[in-house]
Structure 1
Amino acid sequence: HPERQLRVPRPDMSRVEIKNGAFYAGGVPVVLIGSLCWGEFAEALPRLQDYGFNFGEFERGPWHILLGPEGKVNESEIRAVLRTLDRAERSNIAVAFLLSHHYFPLWWARDISPATSLSLFGGRGGFIKFCIEEPATRDILTRWMEAFIPRIVNHPALHSLILENEPIYVSYSDHYVKMFRDWLRARHGAIDKLNRRWGTNFRSFSEIGPAKEPKVRGHFNDWCLFNQEFFASKFFGWLRRLISRYDRKIPLHIKVMNWCNFDERGMRLGIDRELLSAWGERGISGCDGAITPSRGPYALNFHTQLMGYDLLRSIAPGRPVVDSEWHYRYGDPFEYPPKCAYASLWLSALHGALGMNIWVWGRFESAYLDGSVLFNARILYEMGRAALDLRRLARYVVAFANLRGKVAILYSPASRSGCPFNVEVRKVWEALNFLGVPPRFVTERQVERGGLDKYRLLVIPGAKFVTDEAFRGIVKWVKGGGILLAVPQSLRCDFWGRERKEVAGLFGVAFLGEEELKEPLGFPTPLPLRTPAWDGRLMGKGALERILPTTARVLASAQGRPLLVMNRVGKGACFYLTTFLEPWDYAEVLDALLARSGLRPPLRLSGPEGKFPWGVEWRVVRVDGRWHAYLVNLSVDTREVLLLGPGGEVGRGLDLIRMRAVKFPLKLEPLEVRVLRLRSWGS
């Protein structure tokens, strides 16, 4: 039936621009979605558009362009790249081009002395095997960039440049350690001041080496920060300046693996996402990650990926996210449920990944088990269907992705090591996500600049090593009327690991020590916080901080031990949990705080008999004066849901994906995605 056909816009992809945190072409929002293609990219281009894709990616590196130490340039390779870009333009495919510096020419090492070669390739950075600080490596990177970038940078099909593939880095070369000592002198001034901060007794800066393990917290945190600052400013900042000689507007992004953001390994290996965004990127926030099937309790492993997108959107709200290596599976493609692909692509876009290149389009060796989309037609069909639906409904996708709330989670880069932050931040994020609140992060640097002023509620999920400047910013914000919820170990130390005495006054307690809970400790939800959507009982797990309330009021306790206290601070309030909760219990506490603060979403998700339908991600937003909602069932079971408005239940709506009317209550199968225009509620 022609009247049932759904039209997908096909704007000119050579004219994509960035505004309001999204991509636009021809004055309308667009979602970019396609695939990485290596040797088969040029041949694949006409077919990519047929499958519903409008985006693509391929790569070159120094060993493709530089033929030898005499400086000869491989002109035939550059012409081949230009021909591929020409073909992309004819196919109406925008191209994100990966500058693969890690394809480093081995002849360079063979033609220099063994000692220099050892230094040159002394890095410990995954793909980056060379020492980025060595002048010899800078020389060859400059030569290949100067030969290649001017030739391609103004091509109409070129959408953006990716500055490196999955970068991580640390070096222990003599030159790098010397730079670390110079950095310490500039940071601390005198060795006595450093010793007071670290709790050490060095006689001079020359005695200090790299900190490979966190044996001395101040030493380790400073070493990691030095490495992160160098990687961001001296390497990626240098690459950005080099490219800017030829074009100051081309978007630049970095393919940083999302797991680095909430993992001690990322801290060790040079990743501070805020620094990389500030020094290296332009117009776009880049990443690389995976949403894969799960055996439970949810249908997908989604936390790391979606948290990464939310972090990037929080660091740079005006930049869309491009996931230039979007993974969907590992292993046998016929063990992968195809519907996972459709839901995962939708979730990514709704969290701000408005550009995605799927790994991978190819039949190379190992591709069968390594994620190629070409071995299971049902998977490719679902990806194509998602691409067409996302492109058709791009204006709604962008509206959801740009949602901003008044709730933030503190992001503390130094707390990725030595405290419960990495675990608890995941649970708190999950709680807010299922409460229909767009989870946003606020970084310590943003707090120092007054970034908390746009928020009403701040959650600190065990971030222990927080700078004094950020701590003072939090206290000032609470005194001005902010509401703070914190869990054990939050704010307990400064950046160098020194105990912070002032935190006891903020929470209104005296800290007496910590004990491990041998079994979960149940306690009732405090009456002032109780809401009918939940079961009214919380369950503490893991550790328990023993406290003596001074100015705080005990809201909940068990076996004579305070478990939740509240302390009035100026016009604001601090709520402090002395034990850790599961995500659904964090959600119960947060839901009550949202309600009392007027921060709940304008509509409310509910299930049968008023109980909350855990595991359904949802948001509501107004577009053109009308309410719209999306629902994604991430649980492994069918969920029946209602939406409650100010005047009662939402009665019906229009499913914009299927273009069919729906009535509430609505049943959602596992991984089912709905985007609804809500038509009525109440009488």
Structure 2
Amino acid sequence: ARIGSKIVRRPLFFTGYGAFGQVRADVPVFPAYGINIIQIEVGPSAVFPAPDRVDLAPVRDVQRVLENAQKAGVAVNLLISPHYMPEWFLQQHPDLRVRREGFLQYCLHAREGQDLLKRFIGVVIPAVKNSPALHSICLSNEPVNLEAPCRPGRILWIDWLKQRHRSVDALNECWGTHYRTFDDVPLPDPFARMPGPVRADFVRWNQEFFAGWHRMLADEVHRYAPNLPVHAKAMTWTFFNDGDVKYGVDAGLFGEFSQINGNDSVNFPNPPGSEFAQGWQLNAMGHDLQRSVLDAPVFNSENHVIPDRYTHTVPPQHIRAVVWQAAIHGQSATTLWVWERTFDPHSDFAGSIMHRPLCAEAVGLVNCDLNRAAWEVTALQRAKPDVWILQSVSAATWDGGAYTDCLAKLYEALGLAGLKVGFVTERQLEAGMLPPGTLFIPNIHHLSDAAFATLRRADTPIFAVSNGPVVERDAYDRLRSERLRTVLLAYSYPGTSAKDLWGRILDRKIGPERPLVWDAKSPLPQRQPVWGVELRAARVQHGWVINLFNP
């Protein structure tokens, strides 16, 4: 950062907007608004408008934005938008038209589409890579992979099954099937019901393929610009929701191809009368998960802080709290949705922050405050977790809402008990990684054998947040003969609340000793902790920094 005439190394927070024409036009005025980053996009259909034509005009437009941004002191994140596949290309390759969900409406398994994306990257990245204003590359927009069976996908599926099970007899034992060879195994249709053991393998294969597809894009970017950071705009709810495990998005696997933890997340104002003023939990939990699997900054490049077409008043305090608290939980860059104005009530831009000057002012002010307190906020980000929660793909596949409800309530309870929460994933356990402190298992009944074997080596407390045994079944729903030694923390689905768990955590004095927020109005002997305030603390050079948040 430049301070006066000096260049100094220090933490820097980026806050701004996406994602269309208005952010490009307003680059020169953004510093006066307290804004220092934007997101823009360019996609293959713009650069390849016809089979025999490469149009460099969209690339030159990006170059002009980068030049203007450099002059203004504004960083630019470039989304390379692989969902904009040229129509002529799909007509040339009709097999790429398959049933899918999400923005990516073509077969991802096929080599033809991947080759065109590589060509596109080969045109764009060399043209922009040397710009000092280029912050990073976003590889995909709200990525999900739910695709009907295709021939290239089946080839990849069979190869994966061979590597995972080694023999068809081993596969049959796990699935309860009677296939004679691997070649007899069909690629399941994710739009139809499938047997549980088959689904367990399909979910993992889909996650690994989708991360590999993104790695292909990342590798191609790094072929031309080895030091250019990349990330993907993964929707944070797809990391957790049992209903979204089908989409193939795994925070840990996405972290393996990223240099920045990319996401798209949501924190809207809650209706009057709600327990909390805003829906803070998803941002906090998603950021903490990502920082647990990749120790790198979080970039929420589509930060939804106001619902589309929302006509009610949004207090600027909401905006400030969203951006500030996201930083406390690991975010170092964000571009808010969306810097556009419209008077069409049906448009996604209706009611946007550009209609709300006090909210826009709050964005700039909180960015200035984050950079003013950058060392202290960074210390809070870097503080080690006090406790860990197990996040499990097997549980999301098998245990449904009884797992995800417990996970969300447990996270909320621990955070409001003054504890910094980290995560350990099932895949990390499979790799032999154990957290160095107290671990909570949130009503998980299914866990892989490799992860279970690692848990058995733990020499720190393990709390089973459940009304009975946990991890008693393997990834294919087979009952284990062994039981894990745990301490029970009572939870019943769906009746137990986050506040119930919070009280039990405080009563048991679980986790390291930490400061609490107390009710000052109560007499000292009967003074009670206050529910609903998050406290984060970290050591700094001359003492402690403490962040209090009352959502």
Q: TM-score, structure 2 length as denominator?
A: 0.92
Name the aligned partner's letter for residue 231 of structure 1: F
Q: How does 1:123-142 map to 2 (within 5 A)?
A: 124-142=100-118
Matched with 1:82 is 63
Deviation at 1:11, TM superposition (A): 5.5
Separation in 2, partners of 1:481, 1:352 = 26
Deviation at 1:164, TM superposition (A): 0.5
| C-alpha spacing 1:395/1:578, structure 2 compared with 1 (3 Å) | closer
**Does 2:45 align with 1:63?**
yes
Matched with 2:501 is 586
| Aligned 8 A contact 1:333 1:376 in 2 | no
Matched with 1:244 is 222
2:240 is aligned, of 242, 259, 262, to 262
Separation in 2, partners of 1:458, 1:264 = 21
| C-alpha spacing 1:459/1:605, structure 2 compared with 1 (3 Å) | same
Deviation at 1:578, TM superposition (A): 6.4
Q: TM-score, structure 1 length as denominator?
A: 0.75
Name the aligned partner's letter for residue 538 of structure 2: V
1:487 is aligned, of 445, 466, 488, to 466
Name the aligned partner's letter for residue 65 of structure 2: T
Matched with 1:672 is none
| C-alpha spacing 1:418/1:371, structure 2 compared with 1 (3 Å) | farther
| Aligned 8 A contact 1:288 1:323 in 2 | yes
| Aligned 8 A contact 1:405 1:437 in 2 | yes
Matched with 1:188 is 165
Question: Matched residue of 1:40: which SS?
Answer: helix
| Aligned 8 A contact 2:11 2:374 in 1 | yes
| Aligned 8 A contact 2:388 2:435 in 1 | no
| Aligned 8 A contact 2:389 2:440 in 1 | yes
Name the aligned partner's letter for residue 605 of structure 1: V
Name the aligned partner's letter for residue 329 of structure 1: I
Give the share of equivalent positions with the same residue, in percent.
29
Matched with 1:664 is none
| Aligned 8 A contact 2:252 2:293 in 1 | yes
Question: Matched residue of 2:161: which SS?
Answer: helix
Separation in 2, partners of 1:407, 1:40 = 44
Question: Matched residue of 1:409: which SS?
Answer: strand
Matched with 1:378 is 358
Matched with 2:447 is 466
| C-alpha spacing 1:576/1:605, structure 2 compared with 1 (3 Å) | closer
Question: Matched residue of 1:294: which SS?
Answer: coil
| Aligned 8 A contact 1:332 1:368 in 2 | no
| Aligned 8 A contact 2:341 2:350 in 1 | no
> Cα RMSD between the aligned structures?
2.1
| C-alpha spacing 1:371/1:357, structure 2 compared with 1 (3 Å) | farther
Deviation at 1:209, TM superposition (A): 3.1
**Does 2:265 align with 1:353?**
no
Matched with 2:397 is 417
Separation in 2, partners of 1:182, 1:108 = 28
Deviation at 1:334, TM superposition (A): 3.7
Deviation at 1:288, TM superposition (A): 0.3
- Name which one, 1 or 2, has greater alpha-carbon Rg: 1
Name the aligned partner's letter for residue 487 of structure 2: C
Name the aligned partner's letter for residue 43 of structure 2: G
Separation in 2, partners of 1:402, 1:607 = 29
Separation in 2, partners of 1:422, 1:368 = 30
| C-alpha spacing 1:80/1:242, structure 2 compared with 1 (3 Å) | same
| C-alpha spacing 1:194/1:40, structure 2 compared with 1 (3 Å) | same
**Does 2:353 align with 1:440?**
no
5+ residue gaps in structure 2? none
Matched with 1:405 is 385
Matched with 1:32 is 14
Matched with 1:98 is 79
Q: For structure 1, which segment, 52-61 or 444-453, has the greater mean C-alpha deviation from structure 2 after superposition?
A: 444-453
Name the aligned partner's letter for residue 166 of structure 2: G
Deviation at 1:99, TM superposition (A): 0.7
| Aligned 8 A contact 2:42 2:58 in 1 | no
Q: How does 1:97-496 map to 2 (within 5 A)?
A: 97-110=78-91, 112=92, 116-117=93-94, 119-122=95-98, 124-171=100-147, 172-205=149-182, 206-210=184-188, 212=190, 215-233=194-212, 235-278=213-256, 280-281=257-258, 283-295=259-271, 296-317=274-295, 319-330=296-307, 331-363=309-341, 370=350, 372-419=352-399, 420-455=402-437, 457-477=438-458, 480-488=459-467, 490-496=470-476
| Aligned 8 A contact 1:211 1:219 in 2 | no
Question: Matched residue of 2:424: which SS?
Answer: strand
Separation in 2, partners of 1:63, 1:468 = 46
Matched with 2:487 is 574
1:624 is aligned, of 528, 541, 544, to 541
Question: Matched residue of 1:361: which SS?
Answer: coil
| Aligned 8 A contact 1:466 1:495 in 2 | yes
| C-alpha spacing 1:229/1:379, structure 2 compared with 1 (3 Å) | same
Name the aligned partner's letter for residue 237 of structure 1: R
Higher relative contact order (Cα pairs below 8 Å, separated by 6+ residues):
2
Deviations 1:409-457 (A, max 9, x none): 00102211331211100000001110111111011222234432522x1
Question: Matched residue of 2:26: which SS?
Answer: helix
Deviations 1:521-551 (A, max 9, x none): xxxxxxxxxxxxxxxxxxxxxxxxxxxxxxx
Separation in 1, partners of 2:243, 2:73 = 40
**Does 2:14 align with 1:44?**
no
| C-alpha spacing 1:261/1:371, structure 2 compared with 1 (3 Å) | farther
How many residue pairs end up in the alignment?
532
Separation in 2, partners of 1:69, 1:594 = 67
Name the aligned partner's letter for residue 546 of structure 2: A
Separation in 1, partners of 2:275, 2:535 = 18
5+ residue gaps in structure 1? 1-8, 16-24, 508-572, 635-683
Higher fraction of strand:
1
Name the aligned partner's letter for residue 210 of structure 2: F
Deviation at 1:34, TM superposition (A): 0.6
Separation in 2, partners of 1:222, 1:214 = 14
Name the aligned partner's letter for residue 436 of structure 1: G
Separation in 2, partners of 1:579, 1:593 = 18
Separation in 1, partners of 2:499, 2:45 = 52
Deviation at 1:576, TM superposition (A): 5.2
